[in-house]
Structure 1
């Protein structure tokens, strides 16, 4: 969630997800990893507090604060990205 707005990102199925984090530049990027890497989304912000990775494993699992707080809601065609 950014500025009180969720952003759903449509993606195709990928068994592996790559994550790139560069705290100094405020970059958090997500990639689908198969025979090649496909960029899914890049989030940029000034990270002023620690970041905590929270992941769910399985079909249609959202990634983000809702999952971390136990407020799980699944989506079969998107990855939900929310700040911690």
Structure 2
């Protein structure tokens, strides 16, 4: 099932951890995508940098994970964590 934002949402569970990579930054908007998926999502760059504990200027190329949970109008993303390259 797709939500109002075109994202696939599995409403049978309570959510799960998803890994993303920041692929662009335009003005105050950070563009990111799920690892292994081509769909681009957007969020406020300042807020994402704060959630990850990094400088806004270092967002490009950063990998992070967060808990993604279905909600009435889309999804809720929380518990942001940087993913360090091995």
TM-score of the aligned structures, taking structure 1 as reference length: 0.33
